[in-house]
């Protein structure tokens, strides 16, 4: 389903959002919709996806279309991506927000749980990015914006399975940027610290630790417009993780983080 917005935006961006029901993605979608961009939204929960799309139309998106898909199913990616880009009439920005925190205690006992976390957070994005990188590099344009995490900066006992999947994704994205930036494609490694979304509910973090999702989205939309290579959001997490990485391993291994 699509809508046409009579409000003038002479150059609406054509944006593909993968994992569009994510709290961080939804907040970005609200901003993109309000400025009249065109959106193709992919998510696995049909009701929530429909609600996000309806909200984007109400806010003024130039065009909104959706596909319900479980992005763990990598075999469907080429057809899904081609369909989305065809519907948008091209691609300016692909925004990868899918991710699962998983259950660290379960993953310590069950390889199946660890493999699921790694598949959703690393293998599925690699499949999406492989197709998207070749599409954008051939056309010498586009931005690939990928949500990894500060959790990937150093392994900690509380979430090293999730953290390692995000570390792997960060390195993949960094390498992809080294490959195709020279082709005219901006590739962005986005590293949020803790943000108040469904993912951090129930983690027992103090409210003061959690960034506001709308503030984070404002930072990200601006950074995506600029095509900044690596974005820590909020910015203080670059300093915090810089310090955490400096702690000698002989001390770090005894800490409860
Ligand atoms: N919130 C934070 O503190 C934080 C910090 C650092 C990094 N990040 C990263 O930022 C991204 C967005 O996170 P968020 O905070 O917005 O969390 P969120 O609200 O839990 O969003 C995660 C999204 O990924 C979707 N998803 C998971 N597996 C999927 C699959 N197989 N197919 C399609 N969609 C799938 C989820 O869909 P369902 O709703 O259907 O489950 C959900 O919409 C994630 O990659 C996350 O790892 C978040």
Residue 162 is a catalytic residue: yes
Is 257's pLDDT higher than 90?
A: no
Question: Following DSSP, what letter does each residue of 173-196 receive, concatenated?
Answer: HHHHHHHHGGGT-EEEEEEE--BS
Take atom 18 of ligand 1 and give the residue whose Cα is closest: 22
Instruction: Name the residue among 71, 70, 66 with its Cα closest to residue 128.
Output: 71
44 lines ligand 1 (CB under 6 A): yes
Report pLDDT digits (tens) over 225-248: 999 999 999 999 999 999 999 999
In the structure, what pLDDT confidence band is assigned to residue 2 with cuts at 50, 70 and 90?
very low
Instruction: Name the residue among 208, 158, 201 with its Cα closest to residue 23.
Output: 201
pLDDT of the residue at 224: 98
pLDDT of the residue at 8: 62
**Where do the DSSP E strands lie in the chain?**
14-18, 38-43, 63-68, 93-96, 143-147, 186-192, 230-233
**% of the chain beyond a pLDDT of 90:** 93
**Nearest ligand 1 atom, CA 101:** 47
In the structure, what pLDDT confidence band is assigned to residue 125 with cuts at 50, 70 and 90?
very high
Distance 178 CA to ligand 1 centre (A): 26
Among 17, 21, 22, 48, say which to mutate for ligand 1: greatest number of ligand atoms within 8 Å of CB.
22
Report pLDDT digits (tens) over 128-142: 999 999 999 999 999
Among 18, 26, 44, say which to mutate for ligand 1: greatest number of ligand atoms within 8 Å of CB.
44
Report pLDDT digits (tens) over 82-112: 999 999 999 999 999 999 999 999 999 999 9
Is 200's pLDDT higher than 50?
A: yes
pLDDT of the residue at 231: 98
The mean pLDDT of 170-192, rounded to a whole number, is 98
The mean pLDDT of 120-126, rounded to a whole number, is 98
Query: How far is it, in rounded angstroms, from Cα 115 to Cα 35?
Result: 39
Q: Which two tokens stand for residue 120?
A: 């959703």
Model-level pTM greater than 0.75?
A: yes
Structure letter (DSSP) for residue 211 = B
Distance 249 CA to ligand 1 centre (A): 30
Instruction: Name the residue among 240, 239, 196 with its Cα closest to residue 215.
Output: 196
Report pLDDT digits (tens) over 154-171: 999 999 999 999 999 999
Report pLDDT digits (tens) over 34-83: 999 999 999 999 999 999 999 999 999 999 999 999 999 999 999 999 99
195 lines ligand 1 (CB under 6 A): yes
Is 126's pLDDT higher than 70?
A: yes
192 lines ligand 1 (CB under 6 A): yes
pLDDT of the residue at 7: 53
| Cα angle value 20/95/70 (rounded, 5°) | 45
């Amino acid at each position: 389903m699509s809508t046409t917005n009579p409000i003038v935006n002479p150059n609406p961006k054509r944006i593909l959002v993968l994992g569009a029901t994510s709290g961080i993605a939804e907040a970005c979608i609200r901003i993109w919709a309000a400025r009249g961009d065109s959106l193709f939204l992919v998510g696995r929960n049909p009701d929530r996806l429909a609600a996000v799309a309806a909200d984007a139309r109400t806010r003024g998106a130039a065009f909104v279309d959706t596909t319900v898909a479980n992005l763990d199913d990598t075999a469907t990616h080429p057809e899904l991506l081609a369909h989305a880009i065809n519907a948008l009439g091209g691609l300016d920005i692909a925004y990868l927000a899918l991710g699962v925190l998983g259950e660290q205690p379960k993953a310590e006992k069950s390889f199946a749980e660890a493999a699921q976390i790694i598949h959703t957070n690393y293998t599925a994005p690699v499949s999406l990015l492989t197709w998207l990188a070749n599409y954008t590099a051939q056309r010498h344009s586009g931005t690939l914006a990928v949500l990894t995490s500060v959790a990937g900066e150093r392994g900690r006992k509380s979430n090293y399975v999730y953290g390692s999947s995000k570390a792997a994704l960060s390195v993949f994205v960094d390498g992809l940027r080294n490959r195709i930036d020279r082709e005219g494609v901006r590739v962005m490694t986005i590293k949020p610290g803790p943000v108040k979304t469904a993912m951090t509910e129930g983690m027992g973090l103090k409210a003061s630790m959690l960034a506001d999702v709308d503030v984070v989205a404002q930072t990200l939309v601006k950074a995506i417009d600029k095509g900044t290579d690596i974005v820590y959001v909020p910015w203080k997490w670059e300093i915090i993780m810089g310090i955490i990485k400096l702690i000698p391993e002989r001390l770090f291994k005894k800490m409860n983080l």
